[in-house]
Amino acid sequence: MTHVRPNPIFAVFMLILATTVAGGCGGIGSHTVAPDRFDYTEAISTSWKQQMLVNMVKLRYGDTPVFLDVVSVINQYAVETAVDLRWSWVDPVVTMGDSHTVGGSARYSDKPTITYAPLTGDRFARSLMKPIPPPAVLSLIQAGYPVDLILRVCTHSVNGIRNRYGGSARARPADPEFYPLLARMRRVQDSGAMGLRVKKTNETEATLLTFRGNKADPSLADDVLFVRNTLGLDPNAEAFSVVYGSVAKDDKEIAILTRSMLEIIIDLGSYIDVPEEHVRETRVGATMAPETAAGAAVAPLIRIHSSQGKPKDTFTAIPYRDHWYWIDDHDPRSKTLFSFLMFVFSLTETEGKESAPIVTIPAG
């Protein structure tokens, strides 16, 4: 019986093929970290902006808001390969030449597991309906955020001086003293003439210590005195108690009536440029007229546009009731304020967060 030896060139080729395929079986987990973190971060950020905007629009229309938190994102990758190589040599009397068999298979799978948790019950009340603690508002000002922006967004009133509110059930303009007060406070803050230090007493109360900075400008003395007189504060006191409430009990106390996250969203939603036909059909209330202070128009906190066609070049956009609502990507003021809502939202989590659900993912 004559034996035919396998072709050596074919054998080398199959060895290279097997080595290449086997190399693809190496661990891929570490290579997915960078793209996964970027892609999921971008996707979650985009969805959060759209969720916030659609709920803002829904509240403007008297609709029910729904918030979903992304609790966890777990991704599992699997790569499986198999190579089947066989040589055989046969009796040339029966058949001619060598007999070779090659087999191979590969499979790739990507199985993300994303867990959502709706804001309901106690979490809804704590996150959306509970007023922001006054010490948290003061801490934002102490950290350098513009005092006029913080007070316009987060408060109903300071020592009885009321802010504007756009909620349809109790819409009102700001008191005449409110915007001049904010302008003086912002000027003092920008100059560095006065410093602040917040000592938290409990969840809703704090002590505010004021002191003159090293670069105190004597020309700002009138602004400091105006702020103290408007708020009814002792002109010589350096420490004030800060409490949650509408009216202070004496001239050494500052009463701040703060807003809840839900009230903030409702107020910002009042700036939406809703379609005129929806107003005529009484589907939604008309947008409040712009306010003025010292003879000049007060800039709106945010500008949210509406159109029938899908807009281009937007910061975020959502469809609702056959229209598109969007924030222009060339409007840095509106973009900054909209992003700031995320920081304000985190302030409402005054208690420990609930633990994330346990998700078991196979390791194979």
Q: 304 has which bridge partners?
A: 272
pLDDT-wise least confident of 16-30, 113-127, 223-237: 16-30
Q: What percentage of the chain carries pLDDT values higher than 70?
A: 75
Residues 260/131, Cβ–Cβ less than 8 Å: yes
Q: Is residue 166 domain-shared with residue 138, that is, in the same domain?
A: yes
**What is the per-residue pLDDT for 351?**
47
> Is residue 359 in some structural domain?
no
Q: Is residue 139 domain-shared with residue 103, that is, in the same domain?
A: no
Query: Averaged over 254-264, what is the pLDDT?
Result: 94
- Does the pLDDT value for residue 58 go beyond 80? yes
Last residue of a domain, one of 66, 91, 118: 118
Q: Is residue 26 domain-shared with residue 82, that is, in the same domain?
A: yes
> Is residue 280 in some structural domain?
yes
> Is residue 113 in some structural domain?
yes
**Domains of the chain: total:** 2
- Does the pLDDT value for residue 314 go beyond 90? yes
Q: Is residue 82 domain-shared with residue 204, that is, in the same domain?
A: no
pLDDT-wise least confident of 20-34, 47-61, 350-364: 350-364
Q: Is residue 135 domain-shared with residue 108, that is, in the same domain?
A: no
Query: Averaged over 306-320, what is the pLDDT?
Result: 95
Q: Is residue 77 domain-shared with residue 136, that is, in the same domain?
A: no
Query: What length does the chain have?
Result: 364
Q: Is residue 208 domain-shared with residue 257, that is, in the same domain?
A: yes
| Residue 324 burial (10 A CB sphere; 0-12, 13-18, 19+) | middle
Burial 49-58 (b: 16+ CB within 10 A, else e): bebbbbbbbb
Q: Is residue 288 domain-shared with residue 247, that is, in the same domain?
A: yes
Q: Which residue has the higher pLDDT, 269 or 344?
A: 269
> Is residue 363 in some structural domain?
no
Q: Is residue 156 domain-shared with residue 291, that is, in the same domain?
A: yes
pTM above 0.95, yes or no: no
Out of 10-24, 217-231, 259-273, 287-301, the most confident range is: 259-273
Confidence band of 116 (pLDDT split at 50, 70, 90): confident
**Residue 201 structural domain:** 131-347
pLDDT-wise least confident of 70-79, 100-109, 185-194: 100-109
Last residue of a domain, one of 118, 140, 159: 118
Out of 40-49, 50-59, 345-354, the most confident range is: 50-59
> Is residue 102 in some structural domain?
yes
- Does the pLDDT value for residue 258 go beyond 80? yes
Residue with tokens 């809502």: 341
**What is the per-residue pLDDT for 119?**
72
> Is residue 1 in some structural domain?
no
- Does the pLDDT value for residue 347 go beyond 70? no
> Is residue 353 in some structural domain?
no
- DSSP 8-state class, residue 127: I
pLDDT-wise least confident of 43-47, 85-89, 142-146: 85-89
> Is residue 163 in some structural domain?
yes
Query: Averaged over 311-335, what is the pLDDT?
Result: 95
Confidence band of 39 (pLDDT split at 50, 70, 90): confident
**What is the per-residue pLDDT for 361?**
47
Helix ranges restricted to H, the chain: 8-23, 29-60, 121-124, 134-142, 147-154, 178-191, 221-231, 261-269, 276-280, 332-347
Q: pLDDT digits over 266-296, tens only? A: 999 999 999 999 999 999 999 888 888 888 8
Q: Which residue has the higher pLDDT, 67 or 157?
A: 157
Q: Is residue 258 domain-shared with residue 303, that is, in the same domain?
A: yes
Q: Quick one: how many helices (H) and strands (E) in the chain?
A: 10, 13
Q: Which residue has the higher pLDDT, 64 or 219?
A: 64
- Does the pLDDT value for residue 156 go beyond 70? yes
Chain-wide mean pLDDT for the chain? 81
Range 292-301 contact pairs with CB under 8 angstroms and sequence separation of 24 or more = 293/179, 293/180, 293/183, 294/179, 294/180, 294/183, 298/179, 299/333, 300/271, 301/149, 301/152, 301/153, 301/268, 301/271, 301/337
Query: Averaged over 34-42, what is the pLDDT?
Result: 79
Q: Is residue 110 domain-shared with residue 230, that is, in the same domain?
A: no
Q: Is residue 45 domain-shared with residue 176, that is, in the same domain?
A: no
Listed residue (188, 177, 208) closest to 146, CA to CA: 188
Confidence band of 49 (pLDDT split at 50, 70, 90): very high
- Does the pLDDT value for residue 197 go beyond 80? yes
Last residue of a domain, one of 118, 151, 168: 118
